[in-house]
Chains A and B, each alone.
Chain A
Amino acid sequence: MSQVSRQSDVIVVGGGLVGMAVAYGLARSGVSTLVLDQGDVAFRASRGNFGLVWVQGKGHDLPDYARWTGSSATRWPAFAQALLADSGVDVQLRQPGGFHMCFSDQELLERESRLRTLQAALGDYPFQMLDAADLKARLPLIGPAVVGASYTPQDGHVNPLKLLRALHAAAQAKGAVVRSSMEVQRIDSAAGEFSVTTAQGRFVAPRIVLAAGLGNPALARQVGLHAPVAPNRGQVLISERVRPFLEYPTINVRQTDEGTVQLGDSMEEVGFDDSTSTDVLAAIARRGIATFPLLRDVRLVRAWGALRVLSPDGFPIYQHSATHPGAFVVTCHSGVTLAAAHALRLVPWILGGARPSELQAFSGERFLTDKVYSHAH
């Protein structure tokens, strides 16, 4: 098709949590924004995630990641208010602090060491280590297999499906145009503009943001960027709705605003297979019951697998192309936690402002070495 549309200042490729947070930030800055979303053939990490706004423990070996994460969590209350005002959707943000349960003394010691390292690096990093008795006082329904936990007051959670809906509605209310079933076939660059070819036509804009999750590696290389992300599967169990019994998020069990219990903490490298497996789901269920024994009697109504978007070291990639100015890649696996930072702090940089100071550590070029990475997010 030869139809060319050049109505936007920025094209965002990807209509998931990352792309839509950027698009919402752009649109509320008054920038005309076009989102091209691949459609339901995509892997849709944004529809399979756990919904945590999680700070604790992240970035213990990369303090800038802890700072970036913390800056998003701090901005989340105002961000949720803005989303409510612009979309009418309450994403049910709750930030009462979160617990990371430990099932052995060794695990508890390692946890404390990790959080102390973070506190030393960041200064303002409150946390508490709780032994079994402390924890029982805070969470009376905790199981006897839990020997202790770490608690940090910054942690929280949202309803992630409502968040995705809110971002779409808010971005469009602010003027962003979202086109679905737009699989990007090619990106061509000319002086001062990018031309994006889809089966439905060509779209042209002076700036482009790649937020296509697992689709980013192939798109990034067309505009001089390096985004070697790969899938990492998480599996999730969903229970029947039950009356509120848990007001805090934890790393493996949380109760949603509408009553379902969500369980999951698995990580598997199985390529592009987003199915479920009985052994992993059984382990998730066992760990959930060990955490809160009253879950023994709960009925499970759904299970799914979803693919995280992970870079080789587990940290995000934020980069402006040196060879193709105006092209950016934005990719991470914490699209919920980082949504506020993506909308409020990335956008000024994308529009030509200064790069947020923490982001120096997150260029894709860090992977153009022979170093072997282990996931440490």
Chain B
Amino acid sequence: MRTDSLFQPVKSEAGAKRTVRLTFNDQPFTVPAGLSVAAALLMSGIRRFRATPVSEAPRAPYCMMGVCFECLVEIDGVPNRQSCLVEVADGMRICSQEGARDLVYQPSDVQALEVRS
């Protein structure tokens, strides 16, 4: 089932001057600074954040306050991050979380990224 986002930007905050650039599944977006990743992706029109591990059903943010774990995405190589609790940053590379994360290979990828940056 596809639905509209439950959330709308607060009007007084919508015209923020500073912006950051990030990508979601390699697609570039420019979003207001200071937002959570979840809010930024929702206002960019993203409606499918992840696929569930068991049934692979599509999911998007629900609670926006760190409780429901529906907003999981991969951020800069780190899987299963709660996007409602992470602030956007310039150059952030975000990917949808496709099912369960892989424990076996992920840590080394993360270390490699951290060494490069």
Q: How many residues of A contact B (CB 8 A)?
A: 15
- Contact indicator per residue, chain A 254-296, by CB within 8 Å of chain B (1) or not (0): 0000110000000000000000000000000000000000111
* Complex contact B80–A243 (CB within 8 A): no
Please name all residues of chain B whose beta carbon is closer than 8 Å to the beta carbon of A241 when the two chains form the complex.
53-54, 100-101
Among listed B9-17, B83-91, B102-110, interface-contacting one: B102-110
User: Once the chains are docked, how many angstroms separate the CA of A285 from the CA of B42?
Assistant: 36
Q: Which of A243, A295, A297, A299 contacts B110 (CB 8 A)?
A: A297
* Complex contact A243–B107 (CB within 8 A): no
* Complex contact A294–B103 (CB within 8 A): yes
B43 to chain A, nearest CB (A): 26
User: Once the chains are docked, how many angstroms separate the CA of A241 from the CA of B80?
Assistant: 9
Q: Which of B80, B102, B104 contacts A299 (CB 8 A)?
A: B80
Which B residue's beta carbon lies closest to that of A294? B103
**Central interface residue in A141, A240, A296, by most chain B CB within 10 Å:** A240
A109 interface residue per 8 A CB criterion: no
Please name all residues of chain A whose beta carbon is closer than 8 Å to the beta carbon of B99 when the two chains form the complex.
243
User: Once the chains are docked, how many angstroms separate the CA of A283 from the CA of B104?
Assistant: 23
Q: How many A-B residue pairs have CB under 8 A?
A: 37
Assess A294 versus B107: contact at CB under 8 Å? Given A240-B80, A242-B102, A243-B101.
Answer: yes
* Complex contact B104–A240 (CB within 8 A): no
B62 interface residue per 8 A CB criterion: no
Q: Which of A259, A296, A301 contacts B100 (CB 8 A)?
A: A259
- Contact indicator per residue, chain B 65-84, by CB within 8 Å of chain A (1) or not (0): 00001000000000010000
User: Once the chains are docked, how many angstroms separate the CA of A339 from the CA of B54?
Assistant: 27
Please name all residues of chain A whose beta carbon is closer than 8 Å to the beta carbon of B80 when the two chains form the complex.
240, 299
4 extra A-B contacts, CB within 8 A, seeds A259-B54, A297-B103, A297-B107: A240-B80, A240-B101, A242-B100, A243-B100
10 contacts between A and B (CB under 8 A): A240-B101, A241-B53, A242-B100, A242-B102, A242-B103, A245-B103, A294-B104, A297-B106, A297-B107, A299-B80
Q: Give chain B's interface residues, CB within 8 Å of chain A.
A: 53-54, 69, 80, 99-104, 106-107, 110
Q: Give chain A's interface residues, CB within 8 Å of chain B.
A: 141, 240-243, 245, 258-259, 294-299, 301
